[in-house]
Chains A and B, each alone.
Chain A
Amino acid sequence: MTAPGIHTEEFQVNMGPHHPSTHGVCRFILTMDGEVIIKAEPVIGYLHRALEKICENRTYQQCIPVLDRFEYCTSMSCNEAFALAAEKLGGLEVPERAEYLRVIMLELNRIASHLIWFGTTSLDLGAITPFLYGFREREDILDLFEMTCGQRLTYNYIRVGGVAKDIPPEFIPKCKEFLDKFDAKVDDYERVLTENPIFIVRNKDIGVLTPEMAIAYAVSGPSLRASGVKFDLRKDDPYSIYDRFNFNIPVTHNGDCYDRYLIRIAEMRESARIVRQAIEQIPEGEIAAKVSMNYKPPEGEVYSRIENSRGEMGVYIQSPGKEKKPLRVKLRGGSYNQLQVMPELVKGHKIADVVAIMASLDIILPEVDR
């Protein structure tokens, strides 16, 4: 809307790469008409570390620590996705106890990742308290990981054939203590944000993703379920032992930033439920199948996918047969497709909304650039 006689023209604004709200290093070239975005182009590659090329030069067990760096907010999932694919290739059986340990770690890691999202999203929108809350509870989870495998970020815990170490005796009481207080903490989070008028104005009807567009762009995970598509690989293409647990798949229907917020909050509660059940059911026994350090799966190829906190995480492995190194490893992360659909979502919004949309899709760049 311009007054008659005033000359206007489109201009370009560079957003990033070094901007705290881009969750890593991502640059947007925004074409603006006044305050309104008419075109957005993501520029990526700042975090490209050639992980796929590196994996081609490693044995299967050596690939696991490389995969930790793929999506470092949920390293456990990266380990699991790769281990599952490698096990499918060789037809390996994983011991019962190891499966339970994996599920406990994966779900705790999902909560930790959602807590990072919760903290940074609110920080991006100008609220500092939730950031401190989120990182406070995440600390408890990291303590549990540290007592199990000695690491706080890149765990190298889930290995081909099982897990690296058994949990120490103090793990289960500590974990129960955490789960007992966690639901009340999530209530606290909701009290701060869910009905906060500023938060609602910044998120309602912003960045609406329709179910058709979400499927066409292969968006997955919480962002897909916020658009009304009930699809979760833990239920719809079950892997590991997820079919043994009772949990709900939260779905909302508006597909805007606010709905994506609601989904992730609900998912944290569901993950806590799964961990609680797994702790009660966990049997005694072996924690890993006997796998040689020079594991040589037969010739073949496999694409295996799991539900990560950011959507479908897939690993494709091609094995040449009788070789200890894979011929090709291809990694697929949820953020890749979420970032690809973003230019469609930001059209017609203002620059401040780019921050809200990016935060609500929970994109992290190491997963995009690999």
Chain B
Amino acid sequence: MDRDELIKHLLEKFPEKIELLETGRAEPFFLLKNKDDLVAFCESIKTDENLDIDYLCNIGAVDTGERFEVVYDVASVKKHIRFDFKLRFEYEGAEIDSVQKVWPAANWYEREMWELYGINIRDHGNLKRFLLPDDWDQGHPMRKNWDAPDFVRMPEVE
């Protein structure tokens, strides 16, 4: 399945739920409009025999300065398909569902997201300190409004 077929297939299958974000690259990028659809969407792309998305490359949260985004980079080992989709939501009540049931690899990515961004993960079951020290009490360091007291800014390049 090439890029155009993949886009057509996904837009036809989930007409109301997703929209294509054109970033002009090889792999298509989608926006999943409602974050509550996440697990159902993941399950259906995994079980769809044309897609067979069995491989979770990466999950990354982004703090854009205005809201959160969570990016899922997924692939199919058998069908050689790869695309990305993302969620957008506000800081207030930042909470998403865990996709561990679909791809067990999500466990650590979600744990990291919970720790570094303060995004709560429903049904995770293992939300414990991960990369930071056990007694860490200084908030969520990957947020844009967090600055370490001893952070040295690089000089501007001219």
A-B contact pairs, 8 of them (CB 8 A): A215-B77, A218-B55, A231-B77, A293-B157, A302-B23, A303-B58, A314-B57, A316-B73
Tell yes or no: A337 within 8 A of B by CB. yes
Contact indicator A45/B131 (Cβ below 8 Å): yes
Residue A166 CB within 8 A of the other chain: no
Whole-angstrom CA separation of A256 from B77 in the bound complex: 21
The 6 closest A-B pairs by CB, nearest first: A330-B60, A218-B105, A300-B23, A45-B131, A332-B58, A303-B73
Given contacts A231-B77, A305-B57, 4 further A-B contacts (CB under 8 A): A44-B130, A45-B131, A57-B153, A303-B57
Measured between C-beta atoms, what is the minimum distance from A75 to chain B in Å?
A: 20
**Is B84 interfacial (CB-CB < 8 Å)?**
yes
Interface assignment of A122: CB less than 8 Å from any CB of chain B: no
In the bound complex, how far is the Cα of B54 from the Cα of A215, in angstroms? Answer: 7
Q: Closest B residue to A305 by CB, please name it.
A: B57
Chain B residues near A216 (CB, 8 Å)?
54, 103-105
Given A52-B142, A300-B23, A369-B131: A237 in contact with B57 (beta carbons within 8 A) = no
> Which among B6-14, B24-32, B34-42 touches the partner chain?
B24-32
B80 at interface, CB cutoff 8 A: yes
Q: Collect the chain A residues with CB atoms within 8 Å of residue B55's CB.
A: 215, 218
Q: Does any Cβ of A come within 8 Å of B94's Cβ?
A: no
Residues of chain A whose beta carbon lies under 8 Å from any beta carbon of chain B: 44-45, 48, 50, 52-53, 57-59, 62, 88-89, 91, 215-218, 229, 231, 236-237, 293-294, 300-303, 305, 312, 314, 316, 318, 320, 324, 327-328, 330, 332, 336-337, 340, 369-370
A-side contacts of B75, CB under 8 Å: 237
What is the total of A-B residue contacts with beta carbons within 8 Å?
97
Give every chain B residue within 8 A of A44 (Cβ-Cβ).
Answer: 130-131
Contact check, A50 vs B141: say whether CB atoms are below 8 A apart.
yes
Asked if A303 and B141 make an inter-chain contact with CB atoms under 8 angstroms apart, the answer reads no
A345 and B62 CA atoms in complex are apart in Å by 33
**Given contact pairs A229-B77, A231-B77, A327-B64, A218 touches B132 in the complex (Cβ within 8 A):** no
Give the most central of A88, A330, A369: most B CB within 10 Å. Answer: A330
